[in-house]
Amino acid sequence: MTDQPTVLVKDLRKTFYDESRGEVHAVDGVTFACHPGEVFGLLGANGAGKTTTLRMLSTVLRPTGGTATLMGRDVVGEPAAVRRSLGFYSASTALYPRLTARETIEFFTRINGYPGDLVPARVDDLVRRFGIAEYENGRVGKLSSGMKQKVSIARTVAHDPPVLIFDEPTVGLDVMNALEMVKVIRELKAEGKTILFSSHIMSEVEKLCDRIGIVHRGRLLALGTLDELRQETGQHYLEDAFLDYVKRAEGIEGAAELGPAGALEGAEGDPLGTAP
């Protein structure tokens, strides 16, 4: 992990207007940074603001306030350049069912700006790496969910982006496919990719993430390594630590005696994680 952040998020905000609820602050002043070779996890309940944050980083949504850069490119000012540096995987990013597995990978490799003359070799490489060769000419719509998952990962990394976002990647997967996903993320981390990972499954976050940001009601309640979170809350399990942070934010009795929100070094003291 180097000191130069690949992802830099400062005071990021997103406000929606809802007819019944009025203004909804889906993301409310989130700040963090990620580095090459790091898996950064956003942990939170459903509706906490994880996906909205990641959608802003992938330029699908436009921030209401704050800034975010990927590889030094601003998500608002240079969205296409940001997307070239990014692979985005989520349960809501499906594949084209009428293309074959190979056509799918080739399309995403080319459209994301991979050098044209290198595309065939790159596609061959991905087909081999993810074990797709057996069904590379089969239509995606006819593949099993496990096969689709592999094609989906291959298309995410097709253009060899330095930053990868995995938004709830194991939702809907069986145990074997979920384990496969975890394995792939570890391999990508080993290659030096910056990985943003969101989940509400504590065990996955514990296994994968170098640093964890706990998100609740659009705010980043805490940010640090697993050990730092354990240390601050005095809880051994991440699940218990998570509940402590949430209870404190909600003003519920029984929460561990903690300092002010985000008091962890790396959250409010040094949220960008740039301290030596």
Partner 1 sequence: MNWTQIGLLYRRELRSALRERAIVVNGVLIPIFLYPIMLWAAFTGITFVQGINEGFVSRVAIETAPPDTHVALLDTLRRHEGVEVIGVAGTPYGAEDAGGERALPPDDWDAALAAGDLDAIVSFRPLDGGALADNFAVRVRYDRAEDRSQQAEARIREIVSDYRAQWVASEGEALELDETERTVFVVVGESVSSSEDIGQLLLGQMLSIFLVIMVALGCFVPSIDTTAGERERSTWETLMTVAASRTSVVVAKYLYVATLGIVAGLLNVAALMVSVGAIVRPLLVDNDAAVSFSIPWLAAPVMLAGAAALALFFAAAMMILAAFARSFKDGQAMVTPVYWLVFLPFLLGDQSDVNLSLATALVPIANVTMMIRDAIGGVFLWPWIGVTLLVTLALVALCLAVARQLLRFEDFLLGSFDGSFWRFAKEKLFA
Q: How far is the CB of 164 from partner 1 (least distance, A)?
A: 11
How far apart are CB 261 and partner 1 at their closest, in Å?
A: 29
CA atoms of 192 and 276, how far apart (whole Å): 20
CB-wise, 64 or 225, nearer to partner 1?
Answer: 64
State which residue, 81 or 261, has the beta carbon closest to partner 1. 81
Measured from the CB of residue 97, what is the shortest distance to partner 1 in angstroms? 6
| Residue 173 contacts residue 149 (beta carbons within 8 Å) | yes
Cβ of residue 60: shortest distance to partner 1, in angstroms? 5
Q: What's the rounded Cα separation, in Å, for the pair 63 and 29?
A: 11
Residue 70 near residue 81, CB atoms below 8 Å: no
Cβ–Cβ under 8 Å, residues 272 and 239: no
Closer of 94 and 263 to partner 1 (Cβ): 94
Nearer to partner 1, 25 or 110 (CB): 110
Contact 182, 191 (CB under 8 A): no
CB nearer to partner 1: pick between 60 and 226: 60
Closest CA to 66 of 9, 17, 132: 9
Q: DSSP string covering 153-201, please? A: HHHHSTT--SEEEEESTTTT--HHHHHHHHHHHHHHHHTT-EEEEEES-
CB 161 to partner 1: min, Å: 9
Name the site residues for partner 1 (rule: CB under 8 A). Answer: 58-62, 79-81, 83-84, 86, 88, 90, 92-99, 103, 107-108, 110-113, 139, 159
In the bound complex, what is the minimum distance in angstroms from residue 67's beta carbon to partner 1?
Answer: 18
In the bound state with partner 1, the residue whose beta carbon lies nearer, of 46 and 251, is: 46
- 139, 205, 223 from 226: Cα distances, Å: 42, 9, 9
Dmax over CA atoms of the chain, in Å, equals 62
The least distance separating partner 1 from the CB of residue 225, rounded to whole angstroms, comes to 29
Q: Which of 55, 161, 58 is nearest to 113 (CA)?
A: 161
Between 59 and 233, whose beta carbon lies closer to partner 1?
Answer: 59
